[in-house]
Amino acid sequence: MAKDTRPDYFYHPVVGALSPAMLGIYLSRPLSHSSSPPSIEKARMPMTLSKTATCAVTGNVLPITQMIRFVVAPDGAIIADLTQKLPGVFLWIAADHDVLKKAIWRNSFAASTRQNVKIPENLLESIESGLKKLAMQTLSMTKRAGELRFGFTKADEALRSHTAGVYVVASDAKENGREKLERLAIAQELPVIDMWSSDDLSSAIGEENVIHMVLAYGGLTQKLLEILTKLKAVKSEK
């Protein structure tokens, strides 16, 4: 049996996926004066070994946190298995818009599974919309898991006490309050997420007029960052 020469990848909830040669993507809306990712030495949680897979298009070995799993349905249709739980013949493709377009154009699905498959016309759009939905569901779950605090005062307290892992702010928030909390988050090199409106955030956690949130370090927060990193990578407009 050939020796496995694949690189070891580790995932940290703030830094992202790490290999000896690279730092993974982490989400942030950087201020003009700060753009450096946090160093490994500043990591606040232990890094855990991440599973890897080979991209059916590029042949690159990547952490599955940076990939989309596809499954062949009984009728031969290709399904994006965003929760990575569906049974059946499957393949992995890098979560990247250009790579996914190439997979469709080449029909890498048929080549990898050695089956006649049907590729939905809206496959790329369904991946993007599916990741958005999954992200909102995961955000909602962070509240039930006790990983979320909301409201300006609570977010401010968490950031000042260095107990926050991610700062989430509504896209339609007023600049005054946003800038104060955002500066605290950026100073600690925390991800800042601003892709949802106040109505979206309020609906996700079942509260009213939600503008500011902080997420503590935890499994669901890590999962949310992974989903949003994929979403950012697969969108046609980045």
Domain chopping of the chain, boundaries: 10-125, 132-234
Q: What is the mean pLDDT of residues 129-139?
A: 96
Q: What is the secondary structure of 216-232 as a DSSP string?
A: -SSHHHHHHHHHHHHHH
- In the chain, the percentage of residues whose pLDDT exceeds 90 is 74
With beta carbons less than 8 A apart as the criterion, state whether 100 and 68 touch.
Answer: yes
Average pLDDT over residues 92-99: 97
Please report the pLDDT score of residue 81 as a whole number.
97
Pick the residue with more confidence: 11 or 115? 115
Angle at alpha carbon of residue 54, lines to 48 and 60, rounded to 5° = 95
Q: Is the pLDDT of residue 20 over 60?
A: no
Strand-pair partners of 215 = 148, 166
pLDDT at position 237, please? 65
Task: Residue 117: name the closest of 77, 68, 88 by CA.
Answer: 77
Instruction: Please give the average per-residue pLDDT across 134-149, as a whole number.
Output: 94
How far apart are the two ends of the chain, measured CA to CA in Å?
Answer: 42
User: Percent of the chain scored above 70 by pLDDT?
Assistant: 78
Give CA–CA dist 73/30, Å, rounded: 41
What is the reported pLDDT for 236? Answer: 73
Residues linked to residue 169 through DSSP beta bridges, in sequence order: 212
* Distance in angstroms (rounded) separating the CA atoms of residues 22 and 20: 6
**Top-confidence residue, 66 or 41:** 66
Question: What CATH number belongs to 10-125?
Answer: 3.30.1230.10
Q: What is the per-residue pLDDT for 47?
A: 47
**CA nearest to 126, candidates 157, 80, 184:** 80
CB 71 within 8 A of CB 26: no
Is pLDDT of 45 > 80?
no
| Model pLDDT for residues 99-115, shown as the tens digit of each residue | 999 999 999 999 999 99
Name the residue with tokens 């980045």: 238
Identify the band that residue 118 occupies on the pLDDT scale cut at 50, 70 and 90: very high
Query: How far apart are alpha carbons 196 and 6 in whole angstroms?
Result: 37
pLDDT score for 27? 41
Distance CA 52, CA 29 (A): 28
Task: Tell me the average pLDDT across 27-56.
Answer: 51
CATH architecture, domain 132-234: 2-Layer Sandwich (3.30)
* Mean per-residue pLDDT, 117-126: 94
Strands 192-193 and 166-169: parallel
Distance CA 138, CA 119 (A): 28
Q: Are 23 and 234 spatial neighbours (Cβ–Cβ below 8 Å)?
A: no
pLDDT on residue 49: 56
Max CA separation in the chain (angstroms): 61
